[in-house]
Each structure stands twice: as structure tokens, then as C-alpha cells.
Structure 1
Amino acid sequence: MTNVEEQGGTTPGRRKAPETRKRASGESSIYQDEDGRWHGFVSMGKKENGRRDRRHVSGARRVDVVAKVRAIEAKRDAGFVEAAGRALLVAEWLNHWLDNIAARKVRARTLESYRSTVRLHLTPGIGHHRLDRLQPEHLERLYAALADKGLSPASILRGHRVLSRALKVASQRGKVGRNVATLVDPPTVKRPQTALPLSADEARRVMAAAGAHRNAARWTVALAVGLRQSEALGLCWADVNLDEGTLTVRRGIHRVAGQGLVYEEPKAERSRRTLALPNQLVEALRTHRSAQLEERITAGSLWEDDDLVFAQANGRPIERKSDWQAWKALLHEAGVRDVRLHDGRHTAATLLLSEGVHPRVVMEVLGHAQMRTTTDTYSHVLPALGRDAADRMGNALWGPPAP
């Protein structure tokens, strides 16, 4: 081979001029072999195993090889150093993103959801593609195939968002030239199911039926202050002040694959909140605490103390499914229509709005991050509040209507 420095060089067919200086360590070089083909080598530093990492390019013309060498140098100098050897596949990048990036940023339950989406849908569909050659059409065909299998639009949209987050990091690190997920229209998802709150009379019947069962206050809390299921099942006595009549939401409880039941802080800051309790609910919680202390004495050494307000008879946390089954049985016993467990939360909000409580206060009670969430979810109640406001304004300006 004839060594030609990148700064100078010879023309094929001519004799190489004598070198005037020694090439610096790590400096790129270009060579022409005996057949007249040009080769370029770029030093990228060290590999993970400590050996020198050099990248090779070749071409029929020197000018082409110079351009390739400069392009690799530009990426190297900008910090975009790709791993040597075989090209990175989409599946490999998704696994790296899950294990080393997402795992440090999201909650355990969210990470479990990401892993499930990648394993079941993304890897089988597009995992075999080279990461740097992924195209928008690959994603569109994937989404169409998932829809044909019967996957819901919400699940497909969830996969799209996971993929977009992973590709965003890949783009930031120079592993792909663009985030192709931003070039694809995500699936359209229908609005959430309309809230079906219980009426005040139905709520009273449910609480009356609950009085005959242990953990009766669990349902009083649900209907009076609208805690989410995970918040109610993760509530501890340290966050309940019966003397001041307040309850503070600091955590929820969730089941995570491989970890069992775990306590997690709320995702949104607004979900961390302190609520004032009705006096009747304070008394119900006092009664519940006394009953729980008796259960603790009966259980003796079998009692597992997690300081939970609502627990099994041995102190252990209540499973979400068991809680849901208890709610369904209670509705049947009370003789009221069948509604979702989450509709108990909607019941609390609807009753507050119907009693004239300002939507902003209801937003704080529920722990919504935005006012729009409250107004959109309970839009069926707001027209009546608007009518009431108009009547009050009429009374203020023109006096009460004549009998």
C-alpha cells in the first residue's frame, strides 16, 4: 500500500512524494492499494474492551474516500460515536433504552408497561430492522397489522408513544438521522367512557349496606372524598389526622411484575394533597380504627404491620381485584345499578358540584393536574350550575321573583 496523508496525496499513476512529517497518533489516513482502490481509516478512540477502534471506508476515487472520512470525523467530533461492527437493530436499541435510560426515569409500574409493549408488539413487528434504516412506512405497516389482530387504538397509540420516546433519544445521540415516529399519524382514540356517578340516594344505600361488613369506611372514603383505588388501598394511618379531620394523599399501591405489591408516590404533583374530611367520615374512621385494633389483637404474631388504614384481617394490603369484587358485591347487596369502581370517585365529584362547590375546589379534592380535566369530565353537571349562577345574579340585581 501507498500511504497518502489526508492533507496531501498523490495522483494514481504517479510516484508518491516523500513524507515530510510523521502522522500524529489518532490522525485519519488514506491509502491507495496496488489495484488503485482508495481506503480510509478513522481513529474513533477505544472500544469497550480497551482495544483501538478504527473505522474503514473505501472507494474508487480519492475524493470520495476523503468525503467519507470527513463525515465520520464530523460525527466523532460531535460525540456521535457508533459502536463498531454489526449495525444496531431496533430491538437492540429498545432493550438498551429500557434497561439503561427509561429504568432511571420512570416509575416501576410504567417501566413494566413499557417492557410489555416492547416485548409483545414492537419487537415482533419491527425489531429486525436496522435502527438507522427504520422508515415511517415500517411503522404504518406495524400499526395496521396490530389493528388487524384486534389490538385497540389505545394500545396501538401506547406502542407509538413508547417507540417515539426511544427514537427521540436515539436521534439526540446521533444513532438515527430523525425520529420517524414524528412523521407518522398516531391512531385516533375515542373519548374515555362517560362517567356514571351514583345519585345521592344510591350512595347512601351503598354506605348503609357497607355498614354490615368489615372495612365499611373504605366505601365511605371513596364516596365522600373520591380517592383513587390505589390511593385508598395505600393510605396509612400516619397520613390521617382524626383530631384535625384531615387526610393526606402521599402514595398509591400497585402490583409490579417480579416485585409484587409496591408503594409509589403519585406521578403528578397535584395528586399529593391534603383533604378536609366531613365530621361523619371522621367518626366512621374512628370506629374503623377501633375495629382494626381488635383484629390486630386477635391476629397476634400473624399481624403484618404496614400501618394501612384498609387492610386484610392480618394487616396485609388488599389486592385490587379483591377490592373490585367487594365493590361489585356491595352494589348488588344495596340494590343499586352496576357501575365501575372508579364511578365512586365520579360520585364524590358530582355531589360536590351539585352542592355548589366551585370546580376549582373539586379539582383540588380529586387531585386533577388541570382544571380542564375536571370541567370536561363533569360537563354534565356544569349547565345546571350555570343556571343556578344566573338565578343568583338575577336575585342580586332585580330581587327575588314575585310569588
Structure 2
Amino acid sequence: MAARKPNGRSSIYLGKDGLWHGWVMMGVKDDGSPDRRHRKGASETEVTRKVRDLEKQRDSGKVDKPGRVPTVEEWMRTWLDTIAPRTVSRLTLDSTYRPKVERWIIPGLGKHRLDRLRPEHLDAFYVWLSQQGLAENTVLQIHRILSRALKIAVRREVIGRNVCTLIDAPTGEDVEIEPLTADEARAVLNSAKDRRNGTRWSVALALGLRQCEALGLRWKYVDLDKGVIRVFWQIKHQRYRHGCEDHHECGERLHRYPCPRDCPKSKRTSGRRHICLRQCPPRCRQHGGKCPKFCPQDCTGHAPSCPERVGGWAFVKPKGKGKRTVLIPPPLIPLLKLQREAERAEEKAAGKKWRGMDLVWCRLDGSPIDPGDDWDEWKGLLRAAGVEKDARVHDARHTAATLLLEQGVDISVVQEILGHSQLTTTKRYTHVTSKLASDAAARMGRALWDD
């Protein structure tokens, strides 16, 4: 057996077992001991190649941490459970990241060891996703989630490279923006003026607040004397879940929480829901006294018994640039004053039943408006106003951006009003402002041909 090479140099020798062995000094471990990596093979040529690959990684600074490298499945779940929650909201994790990881990334790539994931594996994975009928934007979002997790793995020296950077990212498609015209917007406001919470749509079309920003707007952030709205928060409904360490020991038998993946008393149905096999308690008085034996995870009728439960309505930071202050158009100020007076009257009439959260627009008992009900209200307004477009609630925001640009407002000001973090997002609206384009063409014509 050959002796170890001095000065940290690599060594290759023929062992007593008939195989060739190679040792490479890669650096120092966390405990201060030498980090020497071993490779073996049937021939000296094979081991020499492996040793040179290790030396190349070492010299380029792409050295994996010593120990067993996790699989894609293991790392993605570690990232979701312990790393991502510090930078990504719980709602985004539960509604976007985790479903895509569990439904697509783990089944498609989960068995690969993280350091052995290669570009051709990703190429085949994205082809498979396209064959499943996923939209281009969904495939791009999955790619970004995977790339983000691998970027952290490289930063923590779990692996030496992020394989997602070695391929071209899947192409996304621009969502067609179809805002309302000025006449259509006026028709909607005319239909909404006599409705309860009608000013909700005045603010949406004038200031372009996102749906959850509008539904989460509170009076303390509305200064009608100065005519400003501080968009500091949005409201989201987070799914109820157990807050205690061991949910099986908390006495929780009411099924308002989703069963965890490893719950021994749950099963996967044909859809995406778990069904908890614990029976509903005798005190359940929902469903007219005929409580079903098994209750799905999204049942909201039972009062949870876990004292450490977490979830429900919560105020979270808005997207994009975060907090922003916008000016209220002068004609809208008296309408908001009437809205505040009407809400105070409702609060007085409700008495102890009032569940107010200081919201500008709320239900009759003061509780937040469900986004689904808000969507139905918008669709009803479109029908009442005679608007034939199948516009979404978010298209009210697009309408505000387009109308601002058509009035000649500088694009950087529009970016600030809408709270876009990047100017490129605001520029998406410039291609639909045909009024500005026509005006520019007319000015050029007068400049060159007007006698």
C-alpha cells in the first residue's frame, strides 16, 4: 500500500483487495480534522479520472460538505420546513410552494441524489410536466421553486453547483391584459354607487389596490382629511393547523386542521384532501344534528379544541414594494365619508354581534369579506353595467394602471401608485394604451407634414 502523500497531495495505489484506491485532500471539516475523500475503481485509469474530478471541484471552490448528500426529496422537504418559512409567508408556502413540491418535483425528481442531479434530468422533467397539461407559467414557477431551493443548498455547501443554472429556464407566457375602457369603468361605478360597499369598486378602479389589499384596508390607515390611504397590509385567510408539537396529544378530535403527511390516522382520497378517521365528537351541533362520521379537512363548522391552534384571518405585508401611500381622488373622499357613517350605523345595530376589525369594507357583522363573495359581487356588477367582457377582479387593477397612463401620468408614478417592485411590471400596460400611441402618431404627423 502506498503511503499518504505529504503536503495534502492526492495519492493513488493498488490495494490488497485488488482494487485501485485514491485519496484527495479537499480541505478541513467543521471540527478541524482533515477532509480526505476516497475513490476506488477496477483500474488505475478509472481512479485517476475520479481523483482529477475531485481535485477540479476542490480547485474551483465547488466542494460538497462531507457526509451523505440528501436526495432531492429530502432536501426539498428540509428547505420547506426549516429554511423557506423565514423568507416566504406561510400562506405562500401552503398554497403555492408545498403543493408544487409534493405534486410535481418530488414525484419527478425526488429519488435523485442532490449532487447527481444533471441537466438532462431537468430537461426530461420539464418535458414530462408539459405532457401533463400544465401551463407554461406553472412549469416556470416550478423551475423557480426548484432553483431557489438548490441555490440555498449551494450556499450552505450541501452541493457544489445549482444545476438549474446550467439550462435555459422554461419560457412563460404573458397573461393577456384586457382592462375596462373608461366608459365601461364609469358604467360599473354607476351600478355600484347604490350598493352596500359600493365604494370598494371606486377605490379598486381609481387606485388599483389588489383584492386582498382592498379587503384588508382598515380605517386607521385612511386619512380622509389629508386625502391619503396607507396601503400597509393585506388580509389573508390562513388554513387552521395544529400549533402544539404533538397534535395527537392535544385532545384534538375536531377536523378543522389538515392531517400531516405522516399522520397514521389519515388516508389520501382521490382528490388532494386528507380525511381524518377520528370521529366527530358528540358535542358537534353542526349539520342539523346529523354530523357525518368522517369530516374532511376543510370543514369549517367545528369549534377547534386544540388550545394552541393557529390560522384564520391574518394581516400580512402586501406584495411588491410593500408599504405605500396613495392619494385619494377628491371626488372619492365624500363617498368614503358616507361609507364610514353607514358602517357605524351597522355596528350600532349589530350590538354585541359585531365582530369588527376596523375594516373599511366588511360583512354585516363586521367580519372580513370572503374573496369568493367579492368575486361574485364583481361579476354581478359587470352584468348590471352591461359590460360584455369576462373581466376578473384583478382586471380592475389593470384598468386603473391603463387609465393612469392614458391620462399622461409618468410611468414611474404609476409604478409607485400600484406598488410594483420593478418598472418592467408596469411597462406591461404600455402596449394597451392605444390612446397614447395615437396621440404620438398625430404629433409626429404634425411635426413633419403640417404646413
CA shift for structure 1 position 251: 1.5
> 2:187 aligns to what?
205
Tell me, yes or no, if the aligned pair for 1:304 and 1:314 is still in contact at 8 Å: yes
Aligned-partner Cα distance in 1 for 2:179–2:17: 80
CA shift for structure 1 position 83: 5.8
Q: Scaled by the length of structure 1, what TM-score is found?
A: 0.77
> 2:273 aligns to what?
none
Match of 2:196 among 207, 214, 220: 214
**Cα displacement string for residues 35-81 of structure 1 (whole angstroms, at most 9, x for unaligned residues):** 6878899998689xxxxx9977667899969x96x969x97xx8966
SS in 1 for 2:236: strand
SS in 1 for 2:428: helix
Select between 157-166 and 248-257 the one with higher mean Cα deviation.
248-257
> 2:87 aligns to what?
105
1:235-384 aligned at under 5 Å gives the runs 235-258=217-240, 259-269=311-321, 271-338=322-389, 339-381=391-433, 384=436
SS in 2 for 1:96: helix
> 1:163 aligns to what?
146
Tell me, yes or no, if the aligned pair for 2:402 and 2:429 is still in contact at 8 Å: no
> What code does the residue aligned with 1:255 have?
H
Select between 386-395 and 315-324 the one with higher mean Cα deviation.
386-395
Tell me, yes or no, if the aligned pair for 2:180 and 2:395 is still in contact at 8 Å: yes
SS in 2 for 1:379: helix
CA shift for structure 1 position 312: 1.2
Q: Scaled by the length of structure 2, what TM-score is found?
A: 0.70
Tell me whether 1:121 sits opposite 2:104 in the alignment: yes
Tell me, yes or no, if the aligned pair for 2:151 and 2:162 is still in contact at 8 Å: yes
Tell me whether 1:195 sits opposite 2:172 in the alignment: no
Calculate the aligned-residue CA RMSD, in Å: 4.0
Tell me, yes or no, if the aligned pair for 1:226 and 1:349 is still in contact at 8 Å: yes
SS in 2 for 1:323: helix
Aligned-partner Cα distance in 2 for 1:179–1:46: 23
Tell me whether 1:140 sits opposite 2:140 in the alignment: no
Select between 357-366 and 340-349 the one with higher mean Cα deviation.
357-366
> What code does the residue aligned with 1:264 have?
V
Aligned-partner Cα distance in 2 for 1:372–1:45: 45
Aligned-partner Cα distance in 1 for 2:169–2:157: 24
Tell me, yes or no, if the aligned pair for 2:154 and 2:162 is still in contact at 8 Å: yes
CA shift for structure 1 position 240: 0.3
- 1:148 and 1:242, CA in 2 relative to 1: closer, same or farther beyond 3 A? same
SS in 2 for 1:279: coil
> What code does the residue aligned with 2:237 have?
R
**Higher relative contact order (Cα pairs below 8 Å, separated by 6+ residues):** 2
Contiguous gaps of at least 5 residues in structure 1: 9-27, 48-52
Tell me whether 1:228 sits opposite 2:210 in the alignment: yes
Tell me, yes or no, if the aligned pair for 1:55 and 1:84 is still in contact at 8 Å: no
**Identity in percent:** 41
- 1:391 and 1:174, CA in 2 relative to 1: closer, same or farther beyond 3 A? closer
> What code does the residue aligned with 1:245 have?
G
Aligned residues: 373
CA shift for structure 1 position 342: 1.7
In terms of fraction of residues, the more helix-rich structure is: 1
Tell me, yes or no, if the aligned pair for 2:29 and 2:66 is still in contact at 8 Å: no
SS in 2 for 1:194: coil
Contiguous gaps of at least 5 residues in structure 2: 241-310
Aligned-partner Cα distance in 1 for 2:161–2:444: 57
- 1:308 and 1:117, CA in 2 relative to 1: closer, same or farther beyond 3 A? same
1:51-90 aligned at under 5 Å gives the runs 82=65, 84=67, 87-90=69-72
CA shift for structure 1 position 321: 1.1
